[in-house]
């Protein structure tokens, strides 16, 4: 037996409470293991053997397995009657039987069981319960300057609304009133959540260099414009999530200006991370270490989110945003660099005002430390994007390899967290989907089909519904082409969104992948009674049944052509 391939720890995602009655237990092994049993029970229940008290527990086979590229996950749900659980594993391989506990392996378990794993108590306060509404939300990300300009906008220095490439120096006048004017359009598309990139006062068009966290940027309007947007959006059953930039400020932020003027005498000195005051004005970047900033960008000094004063200031800001604007979510830019203490404080403050506010972190990697229930509800699921995009970019990958990567993404966190992960295929920080697939609409729609039929809360970038092009930042931030909407693409995206919202299986059912032996580039999986088939190969594929089809592309009778989609 390959002992080094066996892994378990009594923490998520290997052991956690799904609800106040249910534990999820998961064991990782290699693929050579034939059977796995779990011995489990209450820690305080014991029997007598030879006059000695000994704990045995009940034995139960684990039959639910998930295959990854190199491993198997064995998973079982238990309902401890007294909310406590003590357990160890029994592994079978050929003629070998080994017992695995917290202290390792033993092949002799008659009298001496291994040191058990423990879940001491299921405390309701420790059970993660993200906002239920997020699971059913279809998001739409908006870069405000480029989405829609209200007709009465009279800001000086604006560029004329255009199609084609843009730069970060250009401003086109998109604003909050412009978004409000398009709520009917968004509602018709099926959108139920808007994520707005930063809207508070800043120097740049992207607004990630905040100068005033308490003022709506005049380029976008006023506080009343935001209040109106939220009210009107709620009337359309659309939630609003705004962007919070707390890892760093802009260099025109008043506390930073005070530090630059007064040095260590400034009351805000400890709000930032300055290492060499004598060199603060030198160089264009911060590689010399004179102070810390976002990346090495000198006009984005890093806030010291360990400082109690900064924590108090920022957490109160978030509480004020929720109370004053009635927003439904906050997305945290560079969410892996601000302190855990700050996020915990923000969560406590905003939940006192609105219990189901969605807190989303921008983290591009394994985010387990931030997803323990007292910080973020979820993170932007860039690993999902990478898994899906990678399969279509690399024609040598098989559907099994895609399955393994998708399952690995889905198994990183608790199930309740996975249900509200913010799934996306492009954003203001990436090239646009249609550009990345070289304008291949077959691949474009196949990836969107996966976005809308897999676990998580799906988000499209503004313009995706009309196949808006754009390479990496800043080109991905083009103006919305209102006069040149691709209605054919729009209607098909609208159908996919409709299915996501109206077929309960696409949010509530487990995912089961199927292997098509005839062709290793046919992707096939089910959610409940719904089957999704993508022909990602170069040859046509015959389906056995096309009586009830919810959505299709390139399906001719029962033949799914190369590049085709069938949801049935």
Which amino acids are annotated catalytic? 333, 362
| Cα–Cα distance measured from residue 455 to residue 475, given in angstroms and rounded to the nearest whole number | 30
| Number of neighbours of residue 505 by Cβ within 10 angstroms | 16
Strand partners, 17: 23
Q: How far apart are CA 467 and CA 447, in angstroms?
A: 13
Contacts of 156 (CB under 8 A, 6+ apart): none
- Distance CA(444)–CA(464), nearest Å, equals 10
Going by C-alpha positions, the residue among 444, 550, 557, 511 that lies closest to residue 566 is: 550
C-alpha distances (whole Å) from 474 to each of 52, 172, 179 are: 72, 14, 21
CB crowding 35-48: b at 16 or more within 10 Å, else e: ebbbbbbebeeeee
Task: Quote the CA–CA distance of 57 and 183 in Å, as a whole number.
Answer: 58
Residue entry with tokens 């003590």: 86
What are the two backbone dihedrals, phi and then psi, of residue 467, each rounded to the nearest 5 degrees? 60, 45
DSSP conformational letter for 376: -
Phi, psi of 233, deg, nearest 5: -60, -45
Burial class of residue 51 (count of CB atoms within 10 Å of its CB; 0-12, 13-18, 19+): exposed
**Other Cβ atoms within 10 Å of 61 Cβ, number:** 12
Whole-number Å distance between alpha carbons of 137 and 457: 6
Identify which of 302, 389, 287 has the alpha carbon closest to the alpha carbon of residue 337: 302
Closest CA to 26 of 86, 89, 75, 78: 75
| Cα gap 526→509, rounded to integer Å | 9
CA–CA separation, 72 and 505 (whole Å) = 25
**Residues making up the chain, counted from first to last:** 568
CB 549 within 8 A of CB 533: no
**Angle, to 10 degrees, between the axis of helix 487-502 and the axis of helix 441-453?**
20
């Amino acid at each position: 037996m390959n002992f080094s391939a066996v892994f378990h720890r009594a923490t998520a995602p290997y052991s956690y409470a799904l609800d106040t009655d249910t534990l999820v237990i998961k064991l990782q092994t290699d693929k050579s293991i034939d059977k796995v049993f779990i011995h489990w029970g209450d820690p305080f229940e014991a029997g007598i053997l030879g006059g000695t008290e000994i704990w045995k527990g009940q034995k139960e086979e684990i039959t639910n397995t998930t295959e990854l590229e190199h491993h198997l996950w064995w998973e079982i749900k238990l309902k401890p009657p007294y909310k406590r659980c003590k357990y160890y594993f029994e592994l079978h391989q050929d003629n070998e039987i080994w017992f695995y506990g917290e202290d390792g392996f033993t092949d002799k378990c008659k009298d001496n069981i291994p040191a058990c794993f423990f879940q001491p108590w299921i405390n309701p306060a420790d059970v993660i319960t993200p906002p239920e509404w997020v699971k059913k939300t279809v998001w739409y990300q908006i870069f405000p300057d480029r989405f829609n300009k209200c007709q009465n906008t009279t800001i000086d220095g604006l560029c004329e609304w255009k199609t084609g490439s843009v730069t970060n120096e250009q401003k086109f006048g998109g604003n909050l009133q412009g978004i409000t004017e398009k709520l009917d359009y968004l509602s018709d598309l099926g959108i139920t959540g808007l994520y707005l990139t930063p809207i508070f006062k800043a120097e740049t068009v992207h607004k990630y260099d905040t100068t005033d966290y308490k003022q709506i940027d005049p380029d976008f309007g006023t506080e009343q414009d935001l209040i109106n947007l939220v009210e009107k959006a709620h009337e359309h059953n659309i939630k609003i999530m705004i962007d919070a930039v707390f890892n760093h400020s802009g260099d025109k932020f008043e506390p930073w200006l005070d530090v630059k003027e007064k040095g260590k005498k400034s009351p805000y000195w400890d709000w930032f991370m300055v290492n060499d005051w004598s060199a603060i004005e030198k160089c264009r970047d911060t590689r010399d270490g004179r102070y810390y900033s976002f990346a090495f960008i000198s006009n984005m000094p890093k806030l010291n989110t360990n400082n109690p004063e900064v924590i108090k200031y920022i957490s109160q800001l978030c509480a004020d945003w929720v109370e004053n604007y009635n927003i439904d979510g906050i997305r945290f830019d560079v969410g892996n660099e601000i302190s855990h203490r700050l996020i915990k404080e923000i969560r406590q403050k905003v939940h006192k005002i609105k219990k189901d506010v969605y807190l989303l972190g921008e983290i591009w990697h394994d985010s387990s430390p931030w997803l323990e229930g007292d910080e973020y509800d979820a993170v932007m699921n860039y690993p999902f994007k990478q898994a899906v995009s990678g399969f279509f970019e690399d024609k040598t990958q098989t559907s099994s390899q895609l399955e393994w990567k998708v399952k690995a993404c889905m198994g990183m966190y608790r199930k309740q967290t996975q249900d509200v992960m913010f799934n996306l295929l492009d954003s203001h920080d990436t090239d646009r989907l249609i550009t990345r697939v070289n304008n291949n609409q077959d691949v474009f729609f196949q990836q969107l089909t996966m976005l809308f039929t897999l676990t998580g809360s799906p988000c499209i970038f503004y313009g995706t519904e009309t196949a808006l092009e754009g390479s990496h930042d800043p080109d991905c931030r083009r103006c919305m082409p209102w006069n040149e909407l691709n209605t054919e693409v729009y209607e098909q995206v609208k159908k996919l969104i409709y299915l996501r919202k109206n077929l309960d299986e696409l949010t509530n059912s487990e995912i089961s992948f199927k292997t098509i032996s005839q062709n290793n580039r046919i992707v096939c999986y089910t959610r409940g009674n719904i089957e999704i088939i993508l022909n990602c190969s170069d040859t046509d594929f015959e389906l056995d049944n096309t009586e009830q089809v919810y959505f299709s592309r390139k399906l001719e009778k029962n033949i799914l052509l190369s590049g085709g989609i069938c949801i049935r």
